[in-house]
Amino acid sequence: MPDPQKAVRLADYQPYTHCVDSVDLTFRLVPEATRVTARLTLRPNPERTGRNALRLDGEGLKLLSCTVDGKPVKPEIDAESLTIPAKSLPAGAFTLETVVEIAPDANTALEGLYMSKGMYCTQCEAEGFRKITYYPDRPDVMSRFRVRIESDLPVLLSNGNPVGRGKGQAEWDDPWPKPAYLFALVAGDLKAHSSTFVTVSGRKVDLNIWVRPGDEDRCAYAMDSLIRSMKWEEEVYGREYDLDVFNIVAVDDFNMGAMENKGLNVFNSRYVLASPETATDDDFARIEAIIAHEYFHNWTGNRITCRDWFQLCLKEGLTVFRDHQFSGDMRSAAVRRIEDVVALRARQFREDAGPLAHPVRPESFVEINNFYTATVYEKGAEVIGMLKTLVGDAGYKRALDLYFDRHDGDAATIEDWLQVFEDATGRDLSQFKLWYSQAGTPQLKVADDWKDGVYTLTFTQANPPTPGQPKKDPKVIPINVGLLNPNGDEVVPTIMLEMTRAKQSFRFEGLAARPIPSILRGFSAPVVLDRKGLAEERAFLLAHDTDPFNRWEAGRALAKDVLAEMALKGAPPPPAFLDAMASVVFDESLDPAFRALCLRLPGEDDLAQTIHAMGRIPDPAKIHAARREMAGALAIRLGDGLQRLYKDLDDSAPFSPSAEQAGRRALKMSALGLLTRRDGGKLAASAFARARSMTEEIGALSALLDVREGQAELAAFAARWRRDANVMDKWYGLQIMNAEPSEAAAVTTRLTETPAFDWKNPNRFRSVIGALAANHAGFHHQSGAGYRTVADWLIKLDPLNPQTAARVSTAFETWPRYDAARRKLARAELDRILAAPGLSGDLREMVERMIAAR
Ligand code: PHE
Ligand code: ZN
């Protein structure tokens, strides 16, 4: 049994002892006994001195034979490795051949080679390849892979180009050296939705999306997204695809969203399959973004990979940044930015404010799977956005060209990345680098002053302590600012103020009157802006700001202030706020998607985070009540205008997943939600009956559930969709997320007793147990039933699938912010998880970090 809490440290990095020049793999696929033959050509790494033993990673493998240059050797074997002592190795290059046996049908962790509904599938990032064969399973060991698959299944896929196909076998050759985490193999009875793409230099690429028979007609949107991604990548980053084929496979059992294996992306089927009847507009947007994300990894991740897992943000932050850019270009950039910031605050700010806070580039970890986080991904992307703001568009382009030029084929580091920006722009980025090493969300206070015709903005930054980092230095913060005059004209268009000190002032001269500042436009830095008590300024910006992000942000800040007051003091919804909302919602000159976003109230967890940041203890029940009261007040204030709005948006154009139509549907569904509070569900019931898309079906159903109606509709929905797991996930989630807080745990338990609750499937587990965690007032209910139910299921899932159990455990990451009674209940559940027999290292690390908070 390996010590489950042994940490790996960035400071201990050493290059591997050997170089792997080529890898030949043969798989004889059998569910309970697959045989993997691996022939590696190895030589000592010139970067290491002395004669070294050869240590390969390997877990859960049954070794059948091991030879060096054809002669049998007896290696040392433990639970995680195979070692051949230096004295048993030739001085120079040699060939190692191992044969192992593994059991994909017994693999419930969905890491390594596993089976999903009769198909074979692999997942190797981060450290899954060691569950397939003995190998130096680390990203800085890059090699050429050749793969032979023996099986009677009709479709046999691996990375690279197909080089041979015969009865019961197929061969693949990947010309691009890669780390083992990008290896993939898929075998099954699959059907392709195919197309082609001609690259900018005229090479023809075969594109296939492989799915289970019957799903072929749900791939068109994913294919269209792929082709647009390929084109965008050529036009915006000048990067072309580099193989003859690009394959995507959809699997139902997958721990994450998707995986960028070279030439063979594997996707969670929920991020591939879509039709108007089965996918919501949010699903379409997410499919487009994830298809793009995985495709973009071909350059940022695959051609240039990471030296070690501490550098994960090198590929993930950059690739998220790029997929955000792409979505912004495909859709409304302003709307996308708002949605991205909503998600950033909901997931990353939450993480950064709690016991799991860690730097974008962590310095140690126990289980790397626990660091595929919002901080590495989303904050990692924000850091790149700031870099681009600081060096400008032209500087960014020069730096990226240099990055691809200089590091193609490398396993690189954040130091390499920043060096490229320094060399391309001449800037010193040593202070900027703190964004990679210091955790926590900076708090930015703003004060302004108007004197003798000079307007001064003074910013103060505070960098709060986080686990292991009590004290911090000031960061570089690019603050985009514009100034408006009192009649709403912009007198100073957006400029970037570069803050580098703890406290800093910026002066504006030549203004005729005291301006109204619009600060942090476009959310130019991932900070909490503290500008309190200026309701009029916020209302003014909501009505007049020329920066669409800040216009929305003004309304958002207003809504948070008001809802916090309501939750803390029982104050009624202020009429001025309701008026301000009405003027935005009914402003026909504004994009419907934007109006829908303004109408969406901040979530309960977000409000709890806000109240906690004010130094108060959030009460989930009061927050829930305040939010409902506000929705009721809005429904009354917006009045009959809502009906008109709903009718106007109810057009009969044929369905398109376009951003334009999606925006109209979003506003229409918000209007329906509010109208339902007035008519008790009449309109929603008829909307459900005549829904022409999943967006409308779900919109109507959640409106009904929100007013405790909709039981007949729920039954009809289940009858219609019971064969479609991805749609049924929505059915499960919706009921739990909309459940009365006092009943949420009981509703969850009841749903776990339905025959279709296949808890070993990560999507289903998340759509039920994850949904309970997402019902803020239900999860944090004072009875403790929410905590207990989630803990029960984590304990049950952990032995089978530690990775997903550990991810869902983040439900508890906010426990220190609540009152003593709730903390006691949550802590007891965390202790109970820790005491579970056979607890995985994954879940143990998470729980121990969460407990360390207090
Ligand atoms: N690298 C994948 C992505 O970001 C995520 C992933 C990580 C998938 C680990 C599976 C396992 O696209
Ligand atoms: Zn990624």
Q: How far does residue 298's CA lie from ligand 1's centre (Å)?
A: 13
62-68 β-sheet, strand order: 71-72, 62-68, 94-102, 34-44, 18-28, 143-150, 169-178, 161-166
Mean pLDDT by 10 residues, the chain (854 residues): 73 98 98 99 97 98 98 98 98 98 98 98 98 99 98 98 96 98 99 98 98 98 98 98 98 98 99 98 98 99 98 99 98 98 98 98 97 98 98 98 98 99 98 98 97 97 97 98 96 98 97 96 97 87 96 97 97 96 96 97 98 97 98 96 95 93 98 96 97 97 97 98 98 98 98 98 98 98 99 98 98 98 98 98 98 79
Q: How far apart are CA 456 and CA 409, in angstroms?
A: 49
Q: Is the dihedral of CA 10, 15, 18, 20 positive or negative?
A: positive
3-state SS class at 145: strand
pLDDT score at 2: 41
Which residues surround the ion ligand 2 when the cut-off is CB under 5 Å?
Answer: 316, 319
Q: Is 776 in the pocket of ligand 1 (CB under 6 A)?
A: no
Neighbours of 358 (CB within 10 A): 24
pLDDT score at 854: 53
Q: How far does residue 65's CA lie from ligand 2's centre (Å)?
A: 36
Looking at the chain, the number of H-run helices and the number of E-run strands are 29, 31
User: CB under 8 Å to 28, separation ≥6 — which residues?
Assistant: 34, 35, 150, 151
Q: Which atom of ligand 1 is nearest to the CA of 260?
A: 12
Q: Is 323 in the pocket of ligand 1 (CB under 6 A)?
A: no
Minimum CA distance residue for ligand 1 atom 8: 259
Ligand with minimal distance to 290 CA: 1
Q: Which atom of ligand 1 is nearest to the CA of 290?
A: 12
Query: CB–CB of 167/187 below 8 Å?
Result: no
Neighbours of 499 (CB within 10 A): 23
Q: Is 706 in the pocket of ligand 1 (CB under 6 A)?
A: no
What DSSP string runs through 423-485?
Answer: HHH----TTTTHHHH--SPPEEEEEEEEETTEEEEEEEEE---BTTB---PPPPEEEEEEEE-
Minimum CA distance residue for ligand 1 atom 11: 125
Q: Is 785 in the pocket of ligand 1 (CB under 6 A)?
A: no
Q: Is 124 in the pocket of ligand 1 (CB under 6 A)?
A: no
Q: Is 125 in the pocket of ligand 1 (CB under 6 A)?
A: yes
Q: How far apart are CA 321 and CA 381, in angstroms?
A: 5
Q: How far does residue 113's CA lie from ligand 2's centre (Å)?
A: 20
Among 125, 267, 315, 804, say which to mutate for ligand 1: greatest number of ligand atoms within 8 Å of CB: 125
Q: How far apart are CA 722 and CA 732, in angstroms?
A: 11
Task: For residue 741, give the DSSP letter.
Answer: G
Q: How far does residue 123's CA lie from ligand 2's centre (Å)?
A: 14
Of the listed 288, 294, 378, 713, which one is catalytic?
294
362-to-59, 320, 376, 414 alpha-carbon distances in Å? 25, 18, 9, 12
Classify strands 81-84 and 143-150 as parallel, antiparallel or unpaired: unpaired
Minimum CA distance residue for ligand 1 atom 6: 259
343-to-348, 374, 456, 496, 782 alpha-carbon distances in Å? 8, 9, 32, 24, 27
Query: CB–CB of 516/484 below 8 Å?
Result: yes
Query: CB–CB of 695/667 below 8 Å?
Result: no
Annotated catalytic residue 294: yes
Among 251, 259, 270, 376, say which to mutate for ligand 1: greatest number of ligand atoms within 8 Å of CB: 259
Shortest CA distance to 408 belongs to which of 304, 262, 313, 299?
304
Cis peptide before 279 (omega within 30 of 0): no
Ligand with minimal distance to 271 CA: 1
810-to-110, 564, 843 alpha-carbon distances in Å? 20, 24, 10
Shortest CA distance to 776 belongs to which of 490, 567, 589?
567
403-to-74, 103, 141, 802 alpha-carbon distances in Å? 44, 41, 20, 36
Q: Which atom of ligand 1 is nearest to the CA of 301?
A: 1
Q: Is 123 in the pocket of ligand 1 (CB under 6 A)?
A: yes
Among 123, 249, 256, 373, say which to mutate for ligand 1: greatest number of ligand atoms within 8 Å of CB: 256
Q: Which atom of ligand 1 is nearest to the CA of 369?
A: 9
